[in-house]
C-alpha cells in the first residue's frame, strides 16, 4: 500500500525530481508531483509525494517544519478530495 503526503510552502522552482530526492532520504518514494496553475503553468507552491505506507509517518516527522531551499515545509497526510 501507499500513502500520499501533502507538501506545502514549496519554493516556486521546485521540480518533482527535487521533491523525490528530498523525501527519498527518509524512505521509499513511489512518485511525486508539483501542482501547477492551469492558466500560467507556474507552480502553485505545493505538491504531493506518494510513499510506501510504512515510511509515511517517518517522512512526515522528518520533513515537516524542515527548511528546503529557503522555505519551511508543511508536510502531512493528504486528505481525500471530496467529489
Q: Residues 59-79: pLDDT tens digits?
A: 999 999 999 999 999 999 998
Mean pLDDT to the nearest integer, 36-59: 96
Give the pLDDT of residue 82.
67
Residue 4 cell numbers, joined: 500520499
Q: Residues 9-38: pLDDT tens digits?
A: 999 999 999 999 999 999 999 999 999 999
Check pLDDT > 80 for residue 45.
yes
d(CA 71, CA 83): 31
Residue 25 cell numbers, joined: 532520504
The pTM score is: 0.92
Angle of helix 56-63 versus helix 16-24 axis, rounded to 10: 100
Amino acid at each position: 500500500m501507499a500513502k500520499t503526503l501533502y507538501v506545502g510552502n514549496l519554493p516556486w522552482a521546485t521540480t518533482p525530481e527535487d521533491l523525490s530526492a528530498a523525501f527519498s532520504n527518509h524512505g521509499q518514494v513511489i512518485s511525486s508531483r508539483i501542482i501547477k496553475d492551469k492558466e500560467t503553468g507556474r507552480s502553485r507552491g505545493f505538491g504531493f509525494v506518494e510513499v510506501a505506507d510504512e515510511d509515511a509517518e517517518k517522512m512526515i516527522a522528518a520533513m515537516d517544519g524542515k527548511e528546503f531551499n529557503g522555505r519551511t515545509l508543511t508536510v502531512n497526510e493528504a486528505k481525500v478530495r471530496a467529489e
